[in-house]
Structure formats: structure tokens, C-alpha cells
Homo-oligomer: A and B are copies of this chain.
Amino acid sequence: MDKTMFDQRYALYLSEIEHFLSAQFEEKPHWADLYDSMRYSLLAGGKRIRPVLTLEFARMAGMDWRQVLPVACALEFVHTYSLIHDDLRRGKPTNPKVYGETMAILAGDALQPEAYRLILTAPGLDARERADCALILAGASGADGMVAGQVLDTLHQPKTEEELTEVHRLKTGAMIAGACMLGVAAAGGSDKLRAAAEEYGYQLGMAFQIRDDMLDVVGDEATFGKPIGSDAEEGKVTFVDLLGLEGCETAVRDCTRQACEAVAEHDGEFLCFLAEQLAGRNK
């Protein structure tokens, strides 16, 4: 797969994802302010890596990927609620500043059931696939997944490589692996492909997070899109502290290679290309 083909497919996924998201909560009930607040954050853009992964795994499992848009976007709903509630703590000029803290809590709270509603009414899926997908989402985002990672990251002080790996595995890896597995589950794909999806997702998540730690030290603030040095300011130990920049580069390269290997026998060129792009990203 060359860069043009990769870019074309990514752009197609992205445009369908944005289109689907922008059709959500368009009505204006009495509580239109709640809808506006949810839309504000849902449509704030971003790379949409997670839903892209869901669509690509559904395609690999032999399904018309457009049918999986509700499932892909459901995970993006959950990712979005987590960003809103995160920003409550950080005082960023996002949803809580625009709509107030009470609305930010409530908009985040509503995005969770709305995510399940999307999955459980997805037209292209039968009851078994819907239930399967909803359970994957619950596992990825729950008390032994994303939220556990957020608790460790914000309320504990992870300091060793083992502790940091666990945080990233839970906080970032669980949702990225969940996105991948959702695609396979929605398509009724094989257990073998689902296991490959999980492995790919965790390796990609780890590479992504280590690269994030690197960019927080050596990144260009304007390109990266968030303040450089914020980890050090918050007193956080990162992979850069533990492995050094060179050690981090090696680790990112290792995780990326393992991600590619996981999907090598499954028509995984797009996914391998994506992993390599993210490994070298500057933002």
C-alpha cells in the first residue's frame, strides 16, 4: 500500500465518520442546550483514530464497513465523554468553559447511554452482534478498563516502567484495542481475527502513548497542539524519564513492529501503514 492509497482510504473513513457524527442530536427539544453541548465536543474534530480502526477491522472481516458507522461512532462518543470529564479537572478552554461545569458533567454523562443506544439500534447488526459490541465497549471503558487507567494516572503516582505500562494499557490501550475488536465483533468475524485486533490495538496504543511522552519533551508546541512540558509540570514520571528519548524510540519501533505482525496475515497493510505513520507523528 502506498501513501496515496492509504490517504484516500483514511480520508473516506474520516469523511463518513464526520458526516455520521454531525447528523447526531440535530433536533431541538426543550433541552437543546444539552444537545448543543454534546455536539460541541463530538464535532471538535481530531484524528478519529479509534472509529477508523473499527471501520477497517470490519472491512477486513468482510463486512460493508458503512454499516458499522454507528458502532465506530459509539466508541467515539465514549472517548468524547472522557475528554469532557478530563477537562473538568484541567480547566481547559473547552466544553466546561463554554457550557459551564454542570452541563459538562451532564453532557458527558449522557454520551455514555447514547453510545449504547447507537450500538443497540445499529440497523446492520443482529441482536447477538449488538450485545457482543455493547459488552466490548463496556469492558474497554469501565472499572477495569479506561476508568481504572484514569484513576491510576490521576490519583496514584505511577513511577516504574511496570506501573506506567499498566496505566497506558488501561487508559489508552483498552479503548484502542476495544475499537479494533468492535469492528470484528460487529462483522461477526472469527475469534482469530478478534485476537489479532486486540493485540494490534494494545501495541498501537502503547506506541501512541510513548510517542506522546516523547512529544511532550521534544515536540513543537504549535504542531503538537498542546503545551510542551506539561507532564514535567504536573510532576508526572513518563517513559522519557525511564527509558530516555532513544529508549523510547526503540520501544515505539518495537510496538509498531508487533502491531504490524499481529495483522500481517489478515490483509493488514492499511493498519501497518497507520501504525508507522503514528510512530513518526509530530502531533
Binding site for B on A (CB under 8 A): 25, 29-31, 33-35, 38, 81-82, 85, 88-89, 100, 102-103, 105-106, 108-114, 116-117, 120-121, 127-128, 130-132, 134-135, 137-139, 141-145, 147-148, 150-152, 154-156, 166
Instruction: Give the residue name and chain of the B residue nearest to A118 (CB).
Output: B138
Would A113 and B142 be within 8 Å (CB), given that A102-B154, A127-B128 are in contact? yes
A175 to chain B, nearest CB (A): 11
Asked if residues A143 and B112 are in contact (CB atoms below 8 Å), the reply is: no
Instruction: Give the residue name and chain of the B residue nearest to A152 (CB).
Output: B31
Asked if residues A110 and B147 are in contact (CB atoms below 8 Å), the reply is: yes
Sample 14 A-B pairs with CB under 8 A, ordered by A number: A31-B148, A31-B152, A34-B148, A85-B109, A89-B102, A100-B155, A102-B155, A112-B113, A113-B142, A114-B138, A116-B135, A116-B137, A127-B132, A130-B131
Tell me which of B81, B108, B128, B143 contacts A34 (CB under 8 A).
B143
A106 contact set on B, CB distance < 8 A: 85, 147, 150-151, 154
Pick the most buried of A103, A137, A151: most chain B CB atoms within 10 A of its CB: A151
A6 to chain B, nearest CB (A): 33
A88 contact set on B, CB distance < 8 A: 105
Tell me which of B82, B114, B120, B130 contacts A143 (CB under 8 A).
B114
Q: How many copies does the complex hold?
A: 2
A154 to chain B, nearest CB (A): 6
C-alpha gap A105/B112 in the complex (Å) = 14
A218 to chain B, nearest CB (A): 29
C-alpha gap A155/B116 in the complex (Å) = 25
Asked if residues A121 and B135 are in contact (CB atoms below 8 Å), the reply is: yes
Asked if residues A103 and B155 are in contact (CB atoms below 8 Å), the reply is: yes
A152 to chain B, nearest CB (A): 6
A112 to chain B, nearest CB (A): 4
Known pairs A85-B105, A113-B143, A116-B138; list 12 more (Cβ under 8 Å).
A25-B143, A31-B143, A31-B152, A31-B156, A106-B151, A109-B112, A111-B143, A112-B112, A113-B138, A113-B142, A116-B135, A120-B131
Asked if residues B105 and A120 are in contact (CB atoms below 8 Å), the reply is: no
C-alpha gap A155/B102 in the complex (Å) = 8
